[in-house]
C-alpha cells in the first residue's frame, strides 16, 4: 500500500538525518524513537486516560458481570449506561493504538532493512544490523515490555498474558537486528515516562478538584 511506502520513506529519511546529525546509528535510533513518541503523544495520552478510566470502572463492571451473568443483553445495556454515566467510550483505548499501527509497521520495515553497516554500538560490535550477540537487548526488550504492561494495565486477570507476551517478544528479539530491538527497548522506556507524566498530571488535577470541593463545602 502506498501509505506504508510514504511512511517508510519519511521514517528512513528522518533516520538518515539523525545519523548525519550524530554520526552514530544507535543514538540516531534513540532520537528517532523519541521523535515518534512525541508526535504520537496526543494519541498515547488519550489511550492512557481511557485505560485509567476503565481501571476505575473495573469493580463496577465485574459486579455487573456477576449480577447479569445469565442475561448478556441486560449486561450490555447496563454496561453502556455505565459508560455513558462516566462519559467513557469503550473503544477509546483501542482506537489510538489502531491509528499508530501503520507507523509501527512502516518503522519495522525500515529498521529491518536499514544499512547499518558494521559500526559498533556499545557491546554490539558487529553493527546494529546484526542480532545482539550477548542477548542483552532481547532480555531488556522482555523486561521493559513486562514493566510497561504492568504499569499501564496491572489487571490480575491478565497475569498469564503479561508473562507470555514479554517472553515471546524477548525470544523473537534474539533473531531480530539489534537496531530494531534497540528501538523497542527505547520506546518502552519512553512510554513508561510518558505514562508517569500523564498519571501525575491527572492525579494533580484530581487533588485540586477535591480541594475545591472541600472549600465549597466549608463555605
* The pLDDT value given to residue 206: 41
C-alpha–C-alpha distance, residues 211 and 213, integer Å: 5
pLDDT higher than 80, residue 48 = no
Q: What percent of the chain has pLDDT over 90?
A: 19
Average pLDDT value over all residues in the chain: 78
- For residues 113 and 12, the answer to whether their CB atoms sit within 8 Å is no
Beta carbons of 29 and 107 less than 8 angstroms apart = no
At 89-107, the pLDDT tens digits run: 655 555 555 666 787 788 8
Residue 135 has pLDDT above 90, yes or no: yes
pLDDT computed for residue 217 by the predictor:
52
Task: Tell me the domain boundaries of the chain.
Answer: 2-218
**pLDDT tens by residue, 18-28:** 999 998 999 99
201 has pLDDT over 60:
no
User: What pLDDT is stored for residue 207 in this prediction?
Assistant: 47
Cell numbers that stand for 94 in this block: 483501542
d(CA 135, CA 39): 30
DSSP string, the chain: -HHHHHHHHHHHHHHHHHHHHHS-HHHHHHHHHHHHHHHTHHHHHHHHHHHHHHHHHHHHHHHHHHHTTT-HHHHHHHHHHHHHHTT--TTTTTHHHHHHHHHHHHHHHHHHH---TT--BTTBTT-TTS--TT-HHHHHHHHHHHHHHHHH---GGGHHHHHHHHHHHHHHHTTS-HHHHHHHHHHHHHHHHHHHHHHHHHHHHHHHHHHHHHHHHH-
pLDDT tens digits, residue range 158-184? Answer: 667 778 888 898 998 998 889 889 999
Amino acid at each position: 500500500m502506498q501509505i506504508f511506502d510514504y511512511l517508510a520513506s519519511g521514517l528512513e529519511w528522518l533516520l538518515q538525518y539523525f545519523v548525519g546529525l550524530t554520526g552514530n546509528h544507535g543514538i540516531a535510533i534513540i532520537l528517532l524513537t523519541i521523535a515518534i513518541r512525541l508526535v504520537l503523544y496526543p494519541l498515547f495520552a488519550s489511550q492512557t486516560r481511557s485505560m485509567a478510566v476503565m481501571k476505575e470502572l473495573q469493580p463496577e463492571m465485574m459486579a455487573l458481570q456477576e449480577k447479569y451473568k445469565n442475561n448478556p443483553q441486560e449486561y450490555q445495556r447496563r454496561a453502556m449506561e455505565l459508560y455513558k454515566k462516566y462519559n467513557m467510550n469503550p473503544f477509546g483505548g483501542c482506537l489510538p493504538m489502531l491509528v499508530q499501527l501503520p507507523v509501527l509497521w512502516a518503522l519495522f520495515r525500515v529498521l529491518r532493512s536499514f544499512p547499518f553497516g558494521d559500526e559498533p554500538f556499545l557491546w554490539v560490535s558487529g553493527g546494529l544490523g546484526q542480532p545482539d550477540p550477548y542477548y542483552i537487548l532481547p532480555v531488556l526488550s522482555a523486561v521493559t515490555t513486562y514493566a510497561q504492561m504492568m504499569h499501564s494495565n496491572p489487571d490480575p486477570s491478565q497475569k498469564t498474558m503479561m508473562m507470555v507476551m514479554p517472553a515471546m517478544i524477548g525470544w523473537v528479539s534474539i533473531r531480530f537486528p539489534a537496531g530494531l530491538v534497540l528501538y523497542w527497548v527505547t520506546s518502552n522506556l519512553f512510554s513508561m515516562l510518558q505514562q508517569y507524566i500523564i498519571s501525575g498530571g491527572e492525579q494533580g488535577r484530581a487533588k485540586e478538584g477535591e480541594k475545591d470541593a472541600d472549600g465549597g463545602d466549608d463555605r
